[in-house]
């Protein structure tokens, strides 16, 4: 009689499997949970999906979820964010696996556009990188300018000053690129001097949130974007050590993937979303984000003509022409 039980359970499993397949075929992707008020239309797969490769610093703040909620509420479209680092996100876009990127490493962005993979770059907002570290500040860098601070950190680290450690993203993300630039400005060769600098330099290979948690556990210094730090602040014992300096400006841009390079991409969906981001509505949303929760906005939207001037030097106002 026990056999009957097993046959029954086997049958039940089979039925479940078949149901699962049918659920898949009818295209009802499991639970598209939207907050009440937002339309719950699930666009037909393919046509209405916009895939965006972006940075972990944007994802970890929660801004992307908010943008998605509002934008999907107003438009019949499915925004899909893939959080990587800026370097990886741009590579994903080069392969044509996404429709646009939201990134923050101006030098890498320029390369991406010059190679012909990216078109119509628009800067959206900025905030600042900050150097955070343990409150005791064992390297004594508080109040220094960022380049000076990096020099001091290197000297303290290589001299094995107790308690001095630095955690690097190590993932070619925008924040990591910024860190490498700072080491360069401080007079060090990143590959030769820094990567071999010793145990005080910790190469995490992780996203921004993970890196902050790691630095917190190790009581180490790290470079972070202000937005992610603010959204993690209550879980960290780390304090901002340096928050001043134009070297620390952190600009976010949206760039569409060139449909001539990758005809399969959703060029119109990408342009529509970029145009929404540069619209007043998009910018206000970005600019308000975090005010209620953290007491200050996490991002400062860019407006013309400010954005066309140094240190920004980018296009932020003109909408992108919509492809036919």
Partner 1 sequence: MVNGSPIIEGFIEAINLIITLNPQVVEITIRSLYVSLTATFFAALIALPTGALIYFYEFRGKHAVVSTLQTLYALPTVIVGLVMFLLLSNIGPFGFLRLLYTPGGMIATQTVLIIPLLMGLTVSALSGIDRDKRYTITALGASRFQTVTTIIAEARFAVMSGVLLGFGRAISEVGTVMIVGGNIRGATRVLTTAIALNTSMANYSMSIALGIILLAVALGVNIALSLVQRR
Least distance in Å: CB of 222 to partner 1? 14
Helices then strands, counting H and E runs in the chain, come out as 12, 10
d(CA 127, CA 17) in angstroms, rounded, equals: 49
d(CA 299, CA 307) in angstroms, rounded, equals: 14
Q: Report the candidate in 191, 180, 211 with the shortest Cα–Cα distance to residue 55.
A: 211
Indicate the residue among 16 and 322 with the shorter CB distance to partner 1. Answer: 16
d(CA 200, CA 195) in angstroms, rounded, equals: 10
Least distance in Å: CB of 230 to partner 1? 13
Q: Residue 311 CA to chain centroid, in angstroms?
A: 21
The CA-to-CA distance between both ends of the chain, in Å, stands at: 67
Q: Residue 110 CA to chain centroid, in angstroms?
A: 18
Indicate the residue among 95 and 296 with the shorter CB distance to partner 1. Answer: 95
Q: Report the candidate in 160, 93, 97, 92 with the shortest Cα–Cα distance to residue 121.
A: 93
Least distance in Å: CB of 288 to partner 1? 21
Indicate the residue among 120 and 211 with the shorter CB distance to partner 1. Answer: 211
Least distance in Å: CB of 148 to partner 1? 30
Indicate the residue among 78 and 225 with the shorter CB distance to partner 1. Answer: 78
Binding site for partner 1 (CB under 8 A): 2-3, 5-6, 9-10, 13, 16-18, 20-21, 23-24, 29-33, 45-46, 51, 56, 59-60, 64-65, 68, 78, 80-83, 95-98, 206-207, 209-210, 213, 232, 234-237, 262, 264
Least distance in Å: CB of 96 to partner 1? 4
Least distance in Å: CB of 6 to partner 1? 6
Q: Phi first, then psi: what are they for 127, rounded to 5°?
A: -150, -160
Least distance in Å: CB of 249 to partner 1? 25
Indicate the residue among 157 and 207 with the shorter CB distance to partner 1. Answer: 207
The Cα-based distances of 96 to 126, 210, 261 in angstroms read: 26, 28, 8
Q: What single-letter DSSP state applies at residue 41? A: -
Indicate the residue among 16 and 155 with the shorter CB distance to partner 1. Answer: 16
**DSSP for 123-186?**
EEEEEEEEEEE-TT-TT--TTS-HHHHHHHHHHHHHTT-TT--EEE--S--HHHHHHHHHHHHT
Least distance in Å: CB of 298 to partner 1? 14
Query: For 193-248, where are the E strands, in sequence order?
Result: 201-203, 221-225, 239-242
Indicate the residue among 264 and 311 with the shorter CB distance to partner 1. Answer: 264
Least distance in Å: CB of 135 to partner 1? 12
Indicate the residue among 81 and 166 with the shorter CB distance to partner 1. Answer: 81
Provide the sign of the torsion angle of the four alpha carbons 189, 192, 193, 197, taken in this order: positive
Count of CA atoms in the C-beta half-sphere (13 A) of 132: 27
Indicate the residue among 211 and 250 with the shorter CB distance to partner 1. Answer: 211
């Amino acid at each position: 009689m026990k056999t009957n039980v097993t046959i029954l359970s086997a049958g039940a499993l089979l039925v479940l499997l078949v149901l699962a397949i049918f659920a898949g075929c009818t295209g009802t992707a499991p639970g598209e949970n939207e907050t009440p008020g937002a339309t719950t239309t699930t666009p037909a797969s393919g046509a209405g999906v916009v895939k965006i490769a972006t940075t972990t610093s944007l994802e970890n703040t929660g801004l992307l979820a908010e943008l998605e909620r509002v934008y999907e509420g107003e438009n019949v479209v499915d925004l899909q964010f893939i959080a990587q680092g800026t370097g990886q996100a741009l590579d994903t876009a080069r392969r044509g696996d996404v429709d646009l990127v939201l990134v923050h490493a101006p030098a890498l962005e320029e390369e991406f556009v010059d190679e012909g993979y990216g078109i119509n770059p628009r800067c959206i907002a900025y905030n600042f990188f900050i150097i955070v570290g343990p409150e005791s500040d064992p390297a004594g860098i508080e109040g220094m300018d960022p380049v000076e601070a990096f020099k001091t950190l290197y000297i303290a680290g290589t001299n094995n000053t107790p308690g001095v450690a630095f955690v690097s993203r190590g993932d070619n993300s925008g924040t990591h690129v910024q860190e490498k630039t700072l080491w360069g400005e401080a007079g060090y060769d990143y590959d030769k001097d820094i990567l071999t600098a010793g145990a005080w330099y910790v190469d995490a290979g992780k996203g921004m949130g993970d890196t902050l948690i790691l630095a917190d556990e190790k009581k180490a210094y790290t470079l972070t974007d202000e937005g992610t730090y603010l959204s993690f602040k209550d879980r960290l014992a780390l304090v901002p050590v340096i928050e001043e300096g134009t070297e620390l400006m952190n600009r976010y841009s949206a760039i569409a993937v060139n449909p001539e390079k990758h005809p399969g991409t959703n060029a119109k969906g990408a342009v529509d979303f970029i145009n929404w981001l540069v619209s007043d509505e998009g910018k206000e949303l970005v600019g308000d984000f975090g005010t209620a929760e953290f007491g200050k906005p996490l991002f400062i939207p860019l407006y013309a003509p400010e954005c066309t001037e140094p240190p920004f030097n980018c296009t932020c106002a003109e909408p992108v022409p919509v492809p036919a």
